[in-house]
Copies of this chain bind each other. A is one copy, B any other.
């Protein structure tokens, strides 16, 4: 226990790894790419992440999950002000995904095979998001089944907005779609719960 943390890098490198995985995918992000992205040599990377790429991705996913839990899930779950929580979610998501220019790491990982190793993490990410949003809607006037459907649709819609905005190279498409999601959710809160 002499040298503690000389330059403290492991947690420091995670955001750079996340960006690299987002841009190139899990299989596409070679060690050369990850090394350049972090500024660390292979030796350093394997020193911090002995499990290799898989452990790096696990660390990234844990970091992403922590961020979403604190910034998005928690406000929805406590839901003292449902409308504000939903508006906050939309704004946070728009900023985080940079209007669709930035890919959702978890969603993309679930699409391409090779993400099977992280299946439970991926499932948990979306499950918790949907449940948190549904709970927030239930705290408002929305009945349980409608809340579940609306939540599922909103989370799905955000993912679709990312795909479409990327495909069209049109960030405004993301903003438009997500804004409509917000309006739908807020309308439901105000008592227009559909069947």
Contact = CB atoms under 8 A, between A and B. Distances in A.
Interface of A: 23-25, 27-28, 103-104, 106-108, 110-114, 119, 122-123, 125-127, 149, 152-153, 155-164, 166-169, 173, 176-177, 180
Contacts of A177: 152-153, 156
Given A149-B180, A177-B152, A167 B107 contact: yes
Nearest to A158: B160
Contacts of A108: 108, 111-112
Contacts of A180: 149, 153
A55 to B, nearest CB: 20
Main secondary structure of the interface of A (DSSP, over half): helix
A5 B61 CA distance: 51
Given A156-B164, A160-B161, 10 more contacts: A25-B27, A25-B114, A28-B113, A111-B111, A112-B112, A149-B176, A152-B177, A156-B163, A156-B173, A156-B177
A107 B177 CA distance: 17
A167 B28 contact: no
Contact of A25 (B107, B112, B169): B112
23 contacts: A24-B112, A24-B114, A25-B27, A25-B114, A28-B28, A28-B112, A28-B114, A103-B111, A104-B163, A108-B108, A111-B163, A111-B166, A122-B167, A123-B167, A123-B168, A123-B169, A125-B167, A152-B177, A156-B160, A156-B163, A156-B164, A156-B173, A160-B163
